[in-house]
Amino acid sequence: PGADGQKTLFHEYFHAVQLAHIFSEDRAKRDELKGPIWFHEGGAEYMAQYGSRNARLSSTLQQVNAEGRWPFVFEEKMEQKMRHGLEKMLSACPGVSMKDITYENRCDGAGYDIGAWAHAYLASKFGHDVLLDTYYAKLDELGWEDAFIETYGMTTDEFYGEFDAFLQLPLSEQIAIL
């Protein structure tokens, strides 16, 4: 469907935005600065969902083949991500924490879905602009962990504990943060 194609373009464009804030030409350093898969891919996925929804609502983005069998409804797409992400974590990677998902052990893509929710959670607490305006502005200088701490006022371990509690909430409470 056209809406999914448009969302994919937003996802890949956001990767360009993310990587534009990393100035090192050293591949290992760039990979380290991207952060874990849930942050890098989940961030691109969340910003794609959120950004394409906002572009449609403002009529900046034309609805292309978005009605009918696969309409684009932000809350429904995010609900699917929560359901699929948790299912993937249980079936493909039982006992693996979100922080341990890697490009080598993708857990059937759970980092994309659960990572999108991690960004939704952070945006609900700190605003949607903080990722671009604060985090990425500090990334190259501070590194992934310190930029996260400076931006969100907590370590990633503290975040993981908080977010794990959020994942235990009923779906209706999770959707309410959107």
Question: Nearest-CA neighbor of 115 among 167, 171, 43?
Answer: 43
Residue 31 vs residue 66, higher pLDDT: 31
Which helix (H) or strand (E) segment holds residue 61: the answer is none
* pLDDT tens profile 86-128: 999 999 999 999 999 988 888 999 999 999 999 999 999 999 9
Percentage of the chain beyond pLDDT 70 is 95
Distance (Å, whole) CA 81 – CA 114? 7
Check if the beta carbon of residue 66 is closer than 8 Å to that of residue 140: no
Q: How would residue 148 be classed by pLDDT, with cut points 50, 70 and 90?
A: very high
Task: Quote the pLDDT of residue 41.
Answer: 97
What's this model's pTM, rounded to 2 decimal places?
0.93
Residue 71 vs residue 118, higher pLDDT: 118
Task: Quote the pLDDT of residue 125.
Answer: 98
Question: Nearest-CA neighbor of 149 among 165, 121, 130?
Answer: 130
Cα 14 → chain centroid = 11
Q: How many CA atoms lie within 13 A of 50 on its CB side?
A: 20
Distance (Å, whole) CA 39 – CA 46? 10
Distance (Å, whole) CA 119 – CA 94? 22
**Residues 6+ positions from 47 with CB-CB distance below 8 Å:** 10, 11, 14, 119, 131
